[in-house]
């Protein structure tokens, strides 16, 4: 049985296309990154932000959205930095991660109608 956006699947809640959830997912990733930066790069926050970034990169790869996957993997690479290194370059790191997330947000808004589900 095929499912349609907004309809319930046989096993649960409505099925929503990946692209439709992308802006909200980027918002969540950005919140997680901000919490990490505000925490002083504490490990639980780093793990959470990194998990979001890796999951989004994997999902984008699976959907064939290479530019989104690339930007998210670049962010994830920065989120893998150990605390000592991250704190040494904290301001530059904050700027770079926010720059990557800004590019990701632009890409999502510029092509939201062109993105496959």
pLDDT value, residue 14:
53
pLDDT value, residue 27:
94
How many DSSP H helices and E strands does the chain contain? 5, 0
Structure tokens, 87: 């704190």
Q: Which residue has the higher pLDDT, 62 or 39?
A: 39
pLDDT value, residue 9:
44
Residue 8 pLDDT grade (very low, low, confident, very high; cuts 50, 70, 90): very low
pLDDT tens digits, residue range 55-112? 999 999 988 889 999 999 999 999 999 999 999 999 999 999 999 999 999 988 865 5
This prediction has a pTM of 0.79
Q: Enumerate residues 6+ apart whose C-beta is below 8 A from 29.
A: 49, 52, 53, 56, 72, 75, 101
The helix-helix angle for 66-79 and 18-39 (nearest 10°) equals 20
pLDDT value, residue 1:
42
Taking alpha carbons only, the member of 90, 94, 84, 96 closest to residue 43 is 84
């Amino acid at each position: 049985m095929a499912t349609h956006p907004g309809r319930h699947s046989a096993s649960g809640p409505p099925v929503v296309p990946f692209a439709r959830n992308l802006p909200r997912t980027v918002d969540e990733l950005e919140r997680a990154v901000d919490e990490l930066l505000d925490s002083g790069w504490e490990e639980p926050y780093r793990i959470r932000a990194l998990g979001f970034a890796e999951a989004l990169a994997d999902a984008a790869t699976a959907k064939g959205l290479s530019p989104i996957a690339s930007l998210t993997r670049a962010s994830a690479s920065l989120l893998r930095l150990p605390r000592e290194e991250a704190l040494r370059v904290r301001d530059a790191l904050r700027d770079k991660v926010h720059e990557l997330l800004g590019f990701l947000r632009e890409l999502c808004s510029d092509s939201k109608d062109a993105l496959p589900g």
